[in-house]
């Protein structure tokens, strides 16, 4: 039997264990990377939902010269949004300001609204995961550190 044949007989147990360990490490790295991609994808979806709700609210306003007003998050926005989405991870309603009365900046009743989604990523880069929101209100849509206010707590 030649020397080459001896070498090619197969893997040793140590070699197999090393290969398995390396595969395990690579799989962990891939899963971590995918996890980040999935949270970013959910955040993108949340921002998209906020923008669509804002569009529905503006169309509602165009027709009625007032925003839909309700003490809690609406389930629909006229004919413009048949079903207002919930958070895709928690299935909770998005944060909504009771806008049945005057607004936090003294806006007349029915002339303001605010809805916000809590984001999972640290989009403002301050290493705090508790202060990242995407929010739409009667001043427009944006990333912000503040959840929608209760009707008198904070300016829009």
Write out the residues near Ca ion by the rule CB under 5 A. 118, 122, 124, 126, 128-129, 131-132
| Shorter beta-carbon distance to Ca ion: residue 63 or 122 | 122
CA distance 147 to 93: 13
| Shorter beta-carbon distance to Ca ion: residue 63 or 126 | 126
Cβ atoms 39, 121 nearer than 8 A: yes
| Shorter beta-carbon distance to Ca ion: residue 98 or 144 | 144
- The residue among 131, 118, 142 whose CA lies nearest residue 54 is 142
| Shorter beta-carbon distance to Ca ion: residue 124 or 146 | 124
CB of 126 to Ca ion, least distance (A): 5
CB of 58 to Ca ion, least distance (A): 27
- CA-based max dimension of the chain: 95
Q: Could you tell me which residues are beta bridge partners of residue 133?
A: 118, 144
CB of 145 to Ca ion, least distance (A): 7
| Shorter beta-carbon distance to Ca ion: residue 42 or 66 | 42
> What six digits make up the tokens of 124?
């403002």
CB of 144 to Ca ion, least distance (A): 11
**Strand 133-137 versus strand 140-144 pairing type:** antiparallel
CB of 128 to Ca ion, least distance (A): 4
The Cβ-side half-sphere exposure at 98, using a 13 Å CA radius, reads 7
Q: Could you tell me which residues are beta bridge partners of residue 116?
A: 95, 135
Distance from CA of residue 142 to its chain's centroid?
13
């Amino acid at each position: 039997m030649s020397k080459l044949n001896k070498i090619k007989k197969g893997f040793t147990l140590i070699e197999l264990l090393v290969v398995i360990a390396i595969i395990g490490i690579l799989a962990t790295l891939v899963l971590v990377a995918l996890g980040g991609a999935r949270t970013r994808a959910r955040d993108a979806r949340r921002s998209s939902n906020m923008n669509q709700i804002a569009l529905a609210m503006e169309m509602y306003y165009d027709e009625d010269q007032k925003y839909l007003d309700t003490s809690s998050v609406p389930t629909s926005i006229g004919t413009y949004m048949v079903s207002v989405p919930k958070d895709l991870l928690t299935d909770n309603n998005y944060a909504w300001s009771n806008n049945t009365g005057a607004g936090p900046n003294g806006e007349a009743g029915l002339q303001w609204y605010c809805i916000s989604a809590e984001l999972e990523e640290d989009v403002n880069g301050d290493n705090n995961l508790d202060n990242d929101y995407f929010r739409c209100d009667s001043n427009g849509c944006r990333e912000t550190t503040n959840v929608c206010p209760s009707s008198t707590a904070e300016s829009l």
